[in-house]
A and B are shown apart, each in its own frame.
Chain A
Amino acid sequence: GAVVSQHPSWVICKSGTSVKIECRSLDFQATTMFWYRQFPKQSLMLMATSNEGSKATYEQGVEKDKFLINHASLTLSTLTVTSAHPEDSSFYICSALRSGYNEQFFGPGTRLTVL
């Protein structure tokens, strides 16, 4: 149980285009999901906290107009990287907080490459 999926697992896009990444909790409900970014050989950096039915809370330095987060249901959160640039290339990982539990369940990650 407690499986989180991400789609796509990797994506290559041209500079200036937008990319949507989906994060789904497959067998549990998650009122809270987190989005992280991880650069090579670095740790996870929290980008935003997504709560179902409300606006996401962004960490300092993360542009909310560039990284659009939608948490429309208890099992789905999406991250849209708008007008992507090469410096946005990274490994994006989501996690879901299972209701009543203190552990996060992570998705497998999405590798974004912006040309």
Chain B
Amino acid sequence: SQKIEQNSEALNIQEGKTATLTCNYTNYSPAYLQWYRQDPGRGPVFLLLIRENEKEKRKERLKVTFDTTLKQSLFHITASQPADSATYLCALAGGYGQNFVFGPGTRLSVLP
């Protein structure tokens, strides 16, 4: 069955450092992968999308890589800030309009 894993349930880093979150999947061939941010008691907010034929995407302090051979995506937040503290979810989709499968999420805490 399809399985998505995210590196750790919780990650603590110091302000100013780069946070790296991992998303690994098995038994799946996604057409694209997305990263979302979710704050407690709120719905997820879309951050970045990367397609299967793309290696890397950037948006301001965010960077996502996608390795379909390793079946892995890395999500980086550079110059992290306490405001970046949240749960980050990766989600895979087989194609446009198809349902998304979410990973369990990683709770990031950026310490001042």
Contacts and interface: CB of A to CB of B under 8 A. Distances in A.
Interface of A: 4, 6, 32, 34, 42-46, 49, 59, 91, 93, 95, 97, 102-109, 111
Nearest to A100: B96
Interface string B45-57: 1100100000000
Given A43-B105, A106-B43, 20 more contacts: A6-B43, A42-B104, A44-B44, A46-B100, A46-B101, A49-B99, A91-B41, A93-B44, A95-B43, A102-B32, A102-B49, A103-B34, A103-B46, A103-B49, A104-B46, A104-B100, A105-B46, A106-B46, A109-B41, A109-B43
Contacts of A46: 99-102
- Chain A contact residues: helix, strand, loop or mixed: strand
Contact of B42 (A34, A49, A109): A109
B89 A106 contact: no
Interface string B19-62: 00000000000001010100001111110010000000000000
A105 B91 CA distance: 13
A115 to B, nearest CB: 20
A89 to B, nearest CB: 14
